[in-house]
Structure 1
């Protein structure tokens, strides 16, 4: 259908609507939202501004625009023609004003200057070119009142003037200007699709009312109402912040390998026939190998029967390592950090000879292992000097068979610590033999895969290895097996394992691996910590998971995790707290008081995500929270008070607008009732006078 046919159709009113206003206030976006139904994201709307004019030719070339131009307002069929204009003040727009039926005058609520120009420039220009044409004042970009202005400014072009919070105009500013000029006022948001229909439907009403005065014979225009009131826009609630869990730090591989090379807190020493010895840690070996688990568990079961005097007898002659430290001094400090240190020759007077009892004596502390398993000779306990900390501590000494060579055995231990095997290992055959002797079958399978050119299969073996290891570590934590430190807490004690703590927590590593006295003590006092919270921290350090105990106080756990510098655990505790609060709220339990108590404690202990969630909850339920806990709200910090006022929902400006809307609505209803009574009275008088004349 040709566009000119609209002029020929009876009872179809063609309305020419001219849209004017400053540059970048949203004129073209508003027109396109009405004519083309365009929906863009907020950042697309604000990222760039290209001076545009939405041409009248769109009605002739675009069928969609033509279809959307037709509308019915108050039972009147209309065809709305939208005219875009330049925002530059110095340009000539008289061609657009010609034969206009209504003018929509736009300004941006984020640009006070654009509102000032409404009075000083635009309204005067409109009245100069079309003095009898009705005008509608429109405040655009309403969504900026509640938007994240920092994100909006980041999305804008680099040289664009940043939008400041103080630039945002309240609704009453636009309403005051409209009242001063005697014209209706509306607000719109293309982003939220709010007010678009209100603006153009009421612009059509204003045009039709003006036309009705001039063309009084058009009876179909009698039902047209004057521009209606616009209900205020209630901004949507901001979505609650999502608790983001940072990437979990992977412990037990690189750290564990380093711990073997530089054996902090070592509690077992393997003596090889080549007069080498290697320090290691029971907890890593026992949780990685069933053979070593049985070995050290057997020692634990018999430790109560061991004669301590026999253990001390082995230390009457200074052990080889102590003699080595005294004679070499600082010159050999670097060599002592290696786990493979040569023992002096057997002919030396200080040679290590504590595994063999002297003739005529029995050593109850030394247990023969040759009948228990191939590869092991004997095991006993003695006091040794750690090669890293230079502190004397009890160590389990295990003497290995001559079939166990130092190089392959060290590789086996490296696998038990890390679960990994270097594919470029040279002596695979001997390594396979040692793995077979020590019954490390995972390693034996990995060697076979490498020799068969199927190393890719080792990934699954490594996964299964770590899964079994994690389960055994958790079991050792629960039972306290192979523990080497006891934490004394306010309400009890908990056994733990220094090597695992060193590899899982930098705070623990500094305490047990440095020169602090705790590194050599078997008991460590931790004041102001309860057993439940400490157990949860240890569970996390051992398994990287948060235990779900009903007795756990989340805030105490967050405080302890922050004290131990564990941000990943803090995030897990924050997530747990939010889940519990959300679950309680959904079940009908009042959580307002809990959220208020969580807020500043979370801020104090660096639980920023939980604090942000609490702030969001208080702001989105501000009226109900404030009615119950007004004193608690007023007692919060000034920063929190300012945040509440800025982000409370519903916002203050909406509450004011709602009150104004309801008040004006009642006034208009009274006016309509009075007007209807007046019309009824006139009609009654007219009919009575007609009857008298008749």
Structure 2
């Protein structure tokens, strides 16, 4: 008795053959193209540092909304098969670099330290090492865990260090993590009006009502409104956190104007300028930083006399800047000191010369007398 095998109709066989052929074509469509170099880029890093979102932004041209950003974070790995099943992703991977056609293949990995990722490191052309700017621990793991692993599996591949989540740099991480939970648990009304929608409460530390009102007036009316209770330095910090460079510039102008007016009225502003300098440099207020440096250099001697400890506590870069741009400069002080010493020596010599002139005696001689003179001697001298 002959064995029976499962049979298919000719139509089904043809459909199955065409399906397999289309899959094989889609799988190898990019490799069949001549003169296209495939670049394998492996993306590694801790969990929840933004690896998958970075890949989606490049490969899928996809951006996430604020609701998706604050939604519950689920660790995901972007599938490399997207290059094989999605024609749009494959087309976006192609580019021309130095007259060479390349296809960039991004490999996403999981961030668990204990898992094995050697399958992803194989034949890697470049490795992108990601860390979160808002999470210092992820940067610490770059040196202690990720870099040694990369050098172990692909020692010759170049490594690119990428900082992600810049928008969360000054945010309250605990508040963001709480907001990543289901939004219904952490929502509250902005006001008592029933028309307001529930939103997530994100705390902004060290922010007063006046600074927040100034930010809202700038966002909605496009102008800067100064108030008596407004702390300019606090507003600069808040505007820098919210990535509002124009508002930072307007606040810098307001701060410089207030300090200049105070100086013209006779108020001592040197101590405030020293405080503003550190804050402005830390929060990226470049114009206010330049003005503070100019004021300190112009009044360098008086500032050093009044605040010697604060001047010595400045950073090395600021100390070098002060020594280079201080007024009066060092060379002028040396020349002035040399001139003063020479002047004192000249005055001393003139004084001694005058004293010698005063001690001298005058000598008077009489003219010779005539022969008919009755004087016993022909001349006389008076000393």
TM normalised by structure 2 equals: 0.43
TM-score (ref. length: structure 1): 0.24
